């Protein structure tokens, strides 16, 4: 058997990009994050060394130098960020922390200042590690689109051209196994096209003259001549890319709130410290040393170390817990968002179902018709133009002839038949004269008999009229969302094989568990036909479902629901990427998910286990409770310490103990989320 699938090879553009990246010295954001993590580790080492040196009674200059090393490493990134903010006339927490550390050092509390910088550097490193890493989504999408196409000129010659050079009305040739480069309409030829990347359909779709095709889909067994109907920038795939870009540019509400709150808090603390210094020295006539001491104490205790680290300590613990249980969160904000989910939209193919066609029923004619249909006298009384005479066979014999012929076919339905024959231990035999009839089926000679395997159109073209009971049984299976493949021998019906994309074994259990956890609205979205969607929805007790959807249709539906309530989108394919991006929470099925779905999603189920979803919601709600406990506690401590500075002239060492003690408490409280429930 000849493998017609094309080998993946880099395009000229990709080679140019690679060469450019190899010849430039621009650091990647991931390298910068590693440097920041290294500086945090060095800060901790210098801090510990300084503590040990001070405890051993070394010279003051020695342990001060060690603490100074902690200042340099722990404050490097924060100082750069603070200077950049000040140049833009902005105040943020970075400015506040650097000023607080300098203030602590100015009154000879180097260890306390170093601890402030270490905790602040650690929180920034942890947050950077948990940041959204979906920047490669566009690159993954672009890989689906061929950069070139084979243009058929008016004089019949062929020429490879960039897709940007193609105009509406041009005709391109797509060979078997190639990816279609442009949206268009089939002008010549017929083939089965795998549209899963765009429409999410579980079965390849037969395309003949006049049918529309999409860029990024994969041609099957036949060559196609396609007349271009959209320019490169207007194709369905290009619109998917645009949708993902737009969705990724939207800031979360939490991020906007923090962006607004941070400079106000920093400015308030600095102003309060300056006012305290001025009032104490000029109004209350306290000594300069006492006034400066009180102002620096206020600056230190008001520094939001516990507040800053309370959220990442909790969120990162929950993320680690999730990772051990097969759930990958790409950032802490997505964990917070998961706690608010009230509606979930599921893609069907590859998410609720396995995404692979499987044989569900093997029906032989005798089981449906009864014995009288095999009595020759019975047919003598029928209209000569009536039903074709069926033949007896067993299930094993039906699979034997079907698998023997389909072994020479590359059609996914044929692969499903072969898999079923192997599962039942049926050994196929040699065949001859195998002929694929695109859009109809496949034929071959088995033991001298002419075998036909295909759809209803194949048998109608052969003037076979199957008995009504067989046709009725086939319609019943089709009503269940199954694809029915007929098998005949020498124009005599033998029976048929039903094939369908099967449900995941725990899909219904997972949906029931989600409903029990407060998910009020479960929606199914699919590019499959309404008949298939209805059958799956009925089996899963889903009352709201939408079929025949293109990617932009899924986006519209998800946005409509998102305007009403917080929604998560669960999907696995390229066609799901825009919907994943515009939902409040995008969840991708990991093991079978496409690269772009995994890059665009906020959460990845690494084990493709839908029962991870209820656990995800439970963990998110638990994390939210602990985060708010930490926030409330840290804010309370800050308020109490600030009041103590004015009420009892709080000593700086005691302020640091309270400040760092509160930090330790919120960290330990957050670490409780590491425990698996």
For residue 541, the domain's CATH number is 3.40.50.1000
Distance, in Å, from the CA atom of 393 to the CA atom of 465, rounded to the nearest integer, reads 19
Q: Residue 473's domain is classified under what CATH number?
A: 3.40.1110.10
601 within some domain = yes
- On whether residue 258 sits in a domain, the answer given is yes
> Domain containing 211: what range?
146-234
What pLDDT, on a 0 to 100 scale, did the predictor assign at position 11? 34
d(CA 160, CA 144): 18
**In 545-651, alpha helices (H):** 551-562, 577-582, 595-600, 612-647
In terms of Cβ atoms closer than 10 Å to its own Cβ (0-12, 13-18, 19+), residue 156 is exposed
User: Does 392 share its domain with 456?
Assistant: yes
Structural domain count, the chain: 5
Q: Is residue 410 part of a domain?
A: yes
Provide the pLDDT for residue 341. 95
Instruction: Based on the fold, state whether residues 366 and 442 are members of the same structural domain.
Output: yes
Are residues 614 and 549 part of one domain? yes
Backbone CA torsion sign across 120, 121, 127, 131: positive
Res 171: pLDDT: 94
Query: Of 502, 520, 535, which closes a domain?
Result: 502
What is the C-alpha to C-alpha distance for residues 587 and 580, in angstroms, rounded to an integer? 7
Is 375 found in the same domain as 512? Answer: no
DSSP letter for 283, please: I
Rounded CA separation 662/198 (Å): 52
Average pLDDT for runs of 10 along the chain of length 677: 30 34 35 75 94 90 93 91 87 78 83 82 66 46 78 87 92 91 92 74 80 87 91 75 54 53 77 90 86 82 74 77 78 84 92 86 86 58 61 88 86 85 87 82 90 88 86 87 88 90 90 94 89 88 91 91 94 79 87 59 80 93 90 90 85 72 80 76
Residue 319 domain-assigned (yes or no): yes
Residues 6+ apart with CB under 8 A from 503: 352, 353, 354, 536, 539, 540
pLDDT at 92: 74
| CA 517 centroid distance within chain | 22
User: Among residues 92, 194, 347, 501, which one is catalytic?
Assistant: 347
Tell me if 67 is assigned to some domain. yes
Q: Are both 498 and 402 inside the same structural domain? A: yes
Task: Identify whether residues 382 and 337 lie together within a single domain.
Answer: no
Residue 522, beta-bridge partner list? 344
8, burial (CB in 10 Å: exposed 0-12, middle 13-18, buried 19+): exposed
- Look at residues 502, 528, 562 and tell me which one is the last residue of a structural domain: 502
Q: Are residues 332 and 321 in the same domain?
A: no
Active site residue 347: yes
- The sign of the CA dihedral 501, 506, 511, 512 is positive
In a domain, 625, yes or no: no
CA distance 519 to 602: 19
Residue 311 and residue 269 in one domain = yes
Examine the domain organization and report whether 400 and 498 are in the same domain: yes
On whether both 309 and 212 belong to a single domain, the answer is: no
136 in any annotated domain: no
Distance, CA of 106 to CA of 299 (rounded, Å): 12
| Angstrom distances, CA of residue 298 to CA of 99, 262, 320 | 12, 18, 35
pLDDT the model gives residue 194: 83
- Classify 402 as helix, strand or coil: helix
The tokens for 109 are 């509390």
- Assess if residue 240 is contained within a domain: no
Give residue 6's pLDDT: 28
Among residues 502, 518, 553, the one where a domain terminates is: 502
Structure confidence at residue 130 (pLDDT): 45
Do 374 and 497 belong together in one domain? yes
Rounded Cα distance between 355 and 349, Å, is 5
Q: Are residues 587 and 653 in the same domain?
A: no
pLDDT of residue 1: 27
């Amino acid at each position: 058997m000849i493998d017609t699938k094309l080998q993946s090879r880099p395009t000229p553009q990709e080679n140019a990009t690679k060469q450019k990246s190899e010849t430039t010295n621009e650091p990647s954001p991931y390298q910068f994050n590693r440097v920041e993590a290294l500086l945090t580790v060095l800060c901790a080492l210098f801090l510990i060394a300084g503590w040990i040196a001070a405890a051993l009674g070394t010279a003051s200059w020695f342990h001060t130098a060690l603490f100074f090393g902690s200042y340099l490493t722990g404050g490097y990134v924060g100082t750069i960020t603070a200077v950049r903010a000040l140049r833009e006339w902005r105040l943020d927490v970075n400015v506040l922390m650097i000023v607080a550390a300098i203030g602590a050092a100015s009154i000879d509390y180097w260890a306390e200042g170093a601890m402030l910088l270490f905790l602040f550097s650690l929180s920034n490193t942890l947050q950077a590690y948990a940041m959204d890493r979906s920047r490669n989504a566009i690159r993954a999408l672009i890989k689906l689109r061929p950069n070139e196409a084979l243009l058929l000129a008016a004089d019949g010659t062929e020429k490879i051209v960039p897709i940007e050079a193609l105009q509406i009305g041009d005709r391109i040739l797509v060979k078997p196994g190639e990816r279609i480069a442009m949206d268009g309409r089939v002008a010549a030829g017929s083939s089965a096209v795998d549209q899963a990347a765009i429409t999410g359909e579980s079965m390849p779709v037969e395309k003949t003259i006049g049918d529309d095709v999409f860029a990024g889909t994969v041609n099957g067994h036949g060559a196609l001549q396609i007349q271009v109907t959209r320019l490169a920038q207007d194709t369905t795939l290009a619109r998917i890319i645009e949708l993902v870009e737009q969705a990724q540019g939207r800031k979360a509400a939490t991020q906007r709130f923090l962006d607004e709150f941070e400079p106000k808090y920093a400015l308030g603390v600095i102003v309060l410290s300056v006012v305290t210094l001025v009032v104490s020295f000029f109004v209350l006539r306290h000594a300069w040393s006492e006034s400066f001491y009180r102002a620096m104490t206020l600056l230190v205790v008001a520094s939001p170390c516990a507040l800053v680290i309370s959220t990442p300590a909790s969120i990162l613990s929950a993320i680690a817990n999730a990772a051990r249980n097969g759930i990958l969160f790409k950032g802490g904000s997505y964990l917070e968002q998961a706690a608010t989910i009230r509606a979930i939209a599921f893609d069907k193919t590859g998410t609720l179902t396995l995404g692979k066609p499987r044989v569900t029923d093997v029906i032989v004619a005798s089981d449906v018709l009864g014995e009288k249909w095999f009595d020759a006298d019975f047919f003598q009384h029928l209209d000569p133009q009536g039903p074709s005479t069926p033949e007896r066979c067993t299930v094993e014999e039906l699979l034997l002839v079907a698998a023997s012929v389909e072994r020479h076919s590359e059609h996914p339905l044929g692969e499903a038949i072969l898999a079923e024959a192997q599962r039942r231990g049926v050994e196929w035999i040699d065949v001859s004269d195998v002929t694929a009839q695109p859009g109809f089926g496949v034929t071959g000679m088995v033991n001298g008999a002419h075998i036909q395997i295909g759809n209803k159109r194949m048998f109608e073209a052969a003037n076979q009229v199957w008995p009504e009971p067989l046709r009725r049984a086939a319609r019943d299976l089709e009503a269940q969302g199954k694809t029915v493949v007929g098998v005949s021998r020498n124009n005599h019906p033998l029976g048929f094989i039903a094939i369908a994309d099967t449900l995941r074994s725990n899909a219904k259990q997972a949906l029931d568990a989600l409903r029990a956890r407060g998910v009020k609205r479960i929606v199914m979205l699919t590019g499959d036909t309404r008949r298939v969607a209805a059958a799956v929805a009925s089996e899963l007790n889903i009352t709201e479902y939408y079929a025949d959807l293109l990617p932009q249709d899924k986006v519209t539906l998800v946005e409509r629901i998102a305007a009403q309530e917080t929604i998560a989108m669960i999907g696995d394919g390229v066609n799901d990427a825009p919907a994943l991006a515009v939902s409040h929470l995008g969840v991708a099925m990991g093991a079978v998910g496409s690269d772009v779905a995994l890059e665009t999603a906020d959460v990845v189920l690494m084990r493709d286990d839908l029962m991870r979803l209820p656990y995800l919601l439970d963990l998110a709600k638990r994390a939210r409770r602990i985060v708010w406990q930490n926030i409330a506690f840290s804010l309370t401590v800050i308020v109490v310490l600030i009041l103590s500075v004015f009420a009892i002239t709080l000593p700086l060492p005691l302020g640091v103990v309270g400040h760092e003690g509160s930090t330790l408490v919120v960290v330990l409280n957050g670490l409780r989320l590491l425990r698996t429930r």
